[in-house]
Amino acid sequence: MLTNVDLAQMEKNNPFAAMKRSELAAQLAMLQRQCIHMNIPALIIIEGWESAGKGYAINDLVRELDTRAFQVHVFERDGEEEEKRSFTWRFWTRIPAKGDFAIFDRSSYYDMMNDLDLNKGEIKKSIARIHDAEKMLYDDGTVILKFFLNITQKTQQERIGELFEDDNRKFLVTKNDTDQNKHYTKYEKHFSNILNLSNFDFAPWHLLSAEDRKAASKYILGTSIRLIQEGVDRHLSKQKTAKTFIRAYNRETTCLQDLKTDLFLEEEAYLKKSKALQQEAQELAYALYTNRVPTILVFEGMDAAGKGGAIKRLTKSMDPRGYTVNPTSAPSDAAKDHHYLWRFYNNFPKCGVMSIFDRSWYGRVLVERVEGFATPAEWERAYGEINAMEQELADFGALILKFFLYIDKDEQYKRFMARQADKPYKLTDEDWRNRDKWDAYVLASNEMIDRTSTAAAPWILVEGNDKPYARIKVLGEFNQRARAILQLAADKS
Amino acid sequence: MLTNVDLAQMEKNNPFAAMKRSELAAQLAMLQRQCIHMNIPALIIIEGWESAGKGYAINDLVRELDTRAFQVHVFERDGEEEEKRSFTWRFWTRIPAKGDFAIFDRSSYYDMMNDLDLNKGEIKKSIARIHDAEKMLYDDGTVILKFFLNITQKTQQERIGELFEDDNRKFLVTKNDTDQNKHYTKYEKHFSNILNLSNFDFAPWHLLSAEDRKAASKYILGTSIRLIQEGVDRHLSKQKTAKTFIRAYNRETTCLQDLKTDLFLEEEAYLKKSKALQQEAQELAYALYTNRVPTILVFEGMDAAGKGGAIKRLTKSMDPRGYTVNPTSAPSDAAKDHHYLWRFYNNFPKCGVMSIFDRSWYGRVLVERVEGFATPAEWERAYGEINAMEQELADFGALILKFFLYIDKDEQYKRFMARQADKPYKLTDEDWRNRDKWDAYVLASNEMIDRTSTAAAPWILVEGNDKPYARIKVLGEFNQRARAILQLAADKS
């Protein structure tokens, strides 16, 4: 994409060359107001050669924007924090809220671009991750703009020299700058390759000449206005044409209904087993810590199926400094203003830590589906999105286990009545309303299990009618799978 | 506090020795439910010798708690992130929300306790900071419990030995452990000193023997139950007795009304000056970055006084990657669930970065006071709290400037009418309602300026009737004070 381009020709073709930067900036600010009103988020990625003038362009982009609705995020080489996180974590935690513009100085491409030693497979894998993340945002209504600022080797050398002579700006010159300039041709080929591979239909690259900073800035401003306007129009036309949704999925499973409902464990056996298993779980949690394995445990299930109790027994002997339990209730305003996966990224574990989710991102295909909070197109898309997310976490080395606790309808009734007598505050009208939709929840749960049980992140179905039995099963499964991943790690090293 | 204590005697006096841990844990869980209902936060700090069994005690504390309403936070030696933050930042960002229990494994005492080389003055200063932070939470209704686990040198040595022989737990033995054991007597004296100095009335230390882990755990559980119950009772009696509030402050200033209202700048002069000043502001912002100075700029003022415009002109030439603008609107649910300063800690700048606040924590003594969202006791307390917070940030090396933009009532009317015609979306009913309370806002603003303008964080009053004049004044003041702090840094090095 970069090789054999004619920068002079590019500059000639700049349709915004005759306009004033201040006018373009004001136009963008008008458009921003419209985006705020319509709740449209925009993500503007500014990539390019070192010293190509990214900061200059970003300054022009934001100069007239409403400061309350944009953020600039700088991506640099991974720091201490990022190294403990999966590849797209930094991207996800910085995505724009509805109505906001997020401007990324570099992006998830950063590490890849600065590493000439990556092989083809590694590059493809990283780009697949980026593809998934950008696609998810695009599908969620985010306008994505990607610019690459191109300069010649000579210009880059001059600019590095200028910066270096300015005491206040000297710090802007890094090893990346000098490296790129020294091995310009190699980098040119490397960048070209990355840009070609990540030139997605829904988020193509806009290549521009940055030989003249002002002209480059105008191009970015003008193109942003044009493309964000298109995004706004797309949004409007979408609102007008109510889409008919055709479900692609035609398989109906009954895996939950097929579970045995009469499994149980006597108290004595339970006490004996649980003590030993909890002891082992404690040891395994320490071992996961020392081996720097991040662990993600998801608990889903019918209301009153015993998720809380199972979590409590699983963690009973574990060092409480090594895990967190994240209850998932109705989303906060901030969560509602972002892609539905965003809030979970904020709670994913660092290396060595365990995050337990009492309900989770699967709400998208359960409660949000059943109650109509998500459109069919949205929850249909979610299966693939969730699988992609979990795959990335697994590739990063995470142990991911998802427990589904099932009880039958009679057992739920018994538990509700017992709760009513015993802990009335734990039983709400909503619980009864959900019960009325029992069949819809079972249908959605079955489909979820069928479509998101992967080798990387399997669903473990737990027969929940007898609490002792369920708790022992959860403990046993956790221990077994933790042992397996630790064995794998030991074999590798 | 530690020297000459008789651990055996302490154990004998443990009033909870005969009780079962599981029963105590269940009682604490019952009390937790009450705290959730009553929105009472509790902070439990577990300090002590290394290997004294803090993890063991914390496990017992949380074993029956509702996982949705407690968090365990581990404080270790400052990492990369903490080094870029002021002393109590880590504490503030982890305080419990209303109804939650936060359990701190160590706390802000950590670094101090592990540093035998600190002189008296340094220790006193750190403890003053901790005092202020704990006091603010206590005054806000948080129940604060502080435990120190005491063991003998011999016991510590044995435990370190045991840990070291266990492959899964070996990582728990750090240099701190071995150091403490080697220089036990020195540390004992050092700890005693710190405990004595931080044994505040509202948050005293509870010293206990941890020679027997189970007995220690019982003591912590039992004492927590007793003290949290006292906190609940205090809360109930507070609700019953409506307090009469007597204002201590008797000084009425008219510093805002005394400002000149006819200062102005011709357009030509404005354009010339602003360009030069913006250029200088850009250079200074780079210099603040390279000198690792964190910068906090606060903008307050009457409605329509031109805060947004002034911020835009100030930052016009600055590198947008070096600053963030934080708009402060009505608090989110999460913010409402915490101490009012909490949400700002999340936006304070790291070293070298600039955070600009468009309205700020001063809302406590402005809108919250005038509208009655805060009680007189709450906003009266806030002046001192805010001064203490800003002092800490200044001691950390921050440049803190607070701009108050004042316009007179006639000018506001003109601007409201112009807005009505021009940008009606920027004018709300609330603006008109606030205008009706003009005098109350001016009174509150005057008092705020009088009581919170400190050498560490001065208020800069800006005559705002003429926008060009105000913008130039903000730019000029920023430049002058940035130059001064940089000069100071240069003189020091």
Q: What is the pLDDT of residues A72-95, one digit of tens each?
A: 998 887 777 777 888 899 999 999
Pairwise CA distance, residues A70 & A32, whole Å = 9
Q: Which residues of B touch A360 (CB under 8 A)?
A: none
Q: Which residue of A has its CA nearest to B73?
A: A321
* Residue owning tokens 């002792």: A468
Integer angstrom CA distances of residue B291 from B27, B103, B286, B453: 53, 36, 9, 25
pLDDT reported for residue B303: 95
Kindly report which listed range (A35-39, A250-254, A409-413) carries the lowest average pLDDT score: A250-254
> Does A320 contact B62 at a Cβ distance shorter than 8 Å?
yes
Please judge whether B168 and A332 are an interchain contact, meaning their C-beta atoms are less than 8 angstroms apart: no
Q: Which fold has domain A267-492?
A: Rossmann fold (3.40.50)
**Residues 94-133, chain A: which have Cβ within 8 Å of B?**
103, 105
pLDDT at B68: 83
Q: Which of B94, B168, B297, B347 is the best substitution to test chain A (most A C-beta atoms within 10 A)?
A: B168
Q: What is the pLDDT of residues B30-40, one digit of tens each?
A: 999 999 999 99
Mean pLDDT calculated for residue range A475-490: 95
**Which chain A residues contact residue B62 at CB under 8 A?**
320
pTM confidence score: 0.85
Q: Is residue A317 very low, low, confident or very high in pLDDT (cuts 50, 70, 90)?
A: very high
Q: Tokens 């900036």 identify what position? A: A25
Contacts with B15 (C-beta within 8 Å, 6 or more apart), sequence order: B222
Confidence of residue B80 (pLDDT cuts 50, 70, 90): confident
Determine which of A4-8, A120-124, B424-428, B471-475 has the lowest per-residue pLDDT on average.
B424-428
Chain A segment 51-70 residues within 8 A of B by beta carbon are 55, 58-59, 61-64, 66-68
What would the two tokens of residue B270 be?
């404005």
Q: Enumerate residues 16 to 35 of chain A having a beta carbon within 8 A of any beta carbon in chain B.
A: 33
A267-492: same fold as A7-240?
yes
Using the Cβ of B243 and the Cβ atoms of chain A, whether some distance falls under 8 Å is answered with: no
- Is 80 exceeded by the pLDDT of residue A247? no
**Are the beta carbons of B325 and A67 separated by less than 8 Å?**
yes
Q: Do B59 and A318 touch (CB under 8 A)?
A: yes
Closest approach of B244 to chain A, Cα-based (Å): 35
Is A67 in contact with B358 (Cβ distance < 8 A)?
yes
SS3 A364: helix
pLDDT reported for residue B248: 63
- Calpha distance A476→A313 (Å, rounded): 11
Question: Closest by alpha carbon to A62, among B314, B357, B355, B315?
Answer: B315
Q: With an 8 Å Cβ cutoff, are A332 and B334 in contact?
A: yes
Give just the sign of the alpha carbon dihedral A419, A425, A431, A433: positive
Separation between Cα atoms, residue B484 and residue B493, nearest integer Å: 14
Neighbouring CB atoms inside 10 A of A423's CB total 10
3-state secondary structure of B72: strand
Give the tokens for residue A261.
């409902």
> Residue A485: is its pLDDT beyond 90?
yes
Distance to chain A for B253, nearest Cα, Å: 33
Cβ contacts of B202 within 8 Å, gap of 6 or more: B134, B135, B138, B144
Number of Cβ atoms within 10 Å of the Cβ of B396: 17
pLDDT tens profile A124-173: 999 999 999 999 999 999 999 999 999 999 999 999 999 999 888 888 89
How does pLDDT run across A283-314, given as a tens digit for each residue?
999 999 999 999 999 999 999 999 999 999 99
Residue percentage of chain A with pLDDT more than 90: 79
Alpha-carbon Rg for chain B, nearest whole angstrom, is: 26
**Shortest Cα–Cα distance, B111 to chain A (Å):** 19
Dist. CA B419–CA B77, nearest whole Å? 53
Confidence of residue A256 (pLDDT cuts 50, 70, 90): very high
Residue of B nearest to A56 (CA): B319
Kindly tell me if the per-residue pLDDT of B118 is higher than 60.
Answer: yes
Nearest to B343 by CA among B354, B359, B358, B328: B328
What count of residues does chain B have?
A: 493
The rounded distance, in Å, linking the Cα atoms of B226 and B446 is 45
B327/A contact by beta carbon, under 8 A = yes
Q: Across the beta sheet with B323-327, what order do the strands follow?
A: B323-327, B354-358, B295-301, B399-406, B459-463
Residue A245: is its pLDDT beyond 60?
no
Give the A window 78-97 contacts with B, CB below 8 Å. Answer: 79-81
Closest CA to B144 of B262, B44, B7: B44
Mark yes or no for CB contact B67/A283 under 8 Å: no
Local confidence band at B492 (pLDDT 50, 70, 90 cut-offs): confident
B63 to A324: CB separation less than 8 angstroms, yes or no: no
Question: Does any CB of chain B come closer than 8 Å to the CB of residue A443?
Answer: no
ipTM at complex level = 0.79
Which residues from B are below 8 Å from A74, CB to CB?
Answer: 321
Cα separations in angstroms, B82 against B109, B123, B136:
14, 19, 21
A169 near B CB under 8 A? yes
Average pLDDT for A399-422 = 95
- Computed over every residue of chain A, the mean pLDDT equals 92
| Alpha carbon distance B358, B229 (integer Å) | 41
The answer to whether residue A448 scores a pLDDT higher than 80 is yes
What is the fold, at CATH topology level, of the domain defined by A7-240? Rossmann fold (3.40.50)
Summarize the confidence of residues B224-236 as an average pLDDT: 93
Distance CA A374, CA B405 (A): 45
Task: Tell me if B129 sits within 8 A of B87, measured CB to CB.
Answer: yes
Q: Which residue of B has its CA nearest to A70?
A: B325
State residue B306's pLDDT score: 95
Contact B289 A171 (CB under 8 A): yes
- Residue for token pair 């309303």: A433
- Residue B480 has which token pair? 């002058």
Shortest Cα–Cα distance, B327 to chain A (Å): 6
| Average pLDDT for A407-436 | 90
Structure tokens at A167: 């005491």
Residue B17 class from Cβ within 10 Å (0-12 exposed, 13-18 middle, 19+ buried)?
A: middle
- Closest CB to B55: pick one of A59, A72, A321: A321
Contact B321 A55 (CB under 8 A): yes
Tokens of A4: 């054999």
What SS3 state is found at B166? coil
- pLDDT tens for each residue of A165-211: 988 888 889 899 999 999 999 999 999 999 999 999 999 999 999 99
Half-sphere exposure of B389 (CA within 13 A, CB side): 25
Contact B67 A289 (CB under 8 A): no
CA-atom Rg of chain A in angstroms: 26
User: B241: pLDDT confidence band, cut at 50, 70 and 90?
Assistant: low
Boundaries of every domain in chain A: 7-240, 267-492
User: Which among B21, B28, B59, B328 is the top mutation candidate for probing chain A, defined by the most A β-carbons within 10 Å of its own β-carbon?
Assistant: B59
Q: From B63, which residue of chain A is nearest by alpha-carbon distance?
A: A316
Q: Which of residues 355-394 of B touch A (CB under 8 A)?
A: 356, 358
Q: What is the pLDDT of residue B426?
A: 77
Are the C-beta atoms of A55 and A41 separated by less than 8 Å?
no
Contact with chain A for residue B480, Cβ under 8 A = no
What is the rounded CA–CA span in Å between residue A344 and residue A347? 5
CB A360 within 8 A of CB B107: no
Contacts of B103 in chain A (CB under 8 A): 320
Task: Based on DSSP, count helices (H) and strands (E) in chain B, helices before strands.
Answer: 21, 10
Contact between chains at A55 and B320 (C-beta distance less than 8 A): yes
Q: Which residues of B touch A80 (CB under 8 A)?
A: 79-81
B chain contacts of residue A76, beta-carbon cutoff 8 Å: none
CA distances B202 to A29, B40, B45, B199, B464, Å, are 52, 16, 14, 9, 45
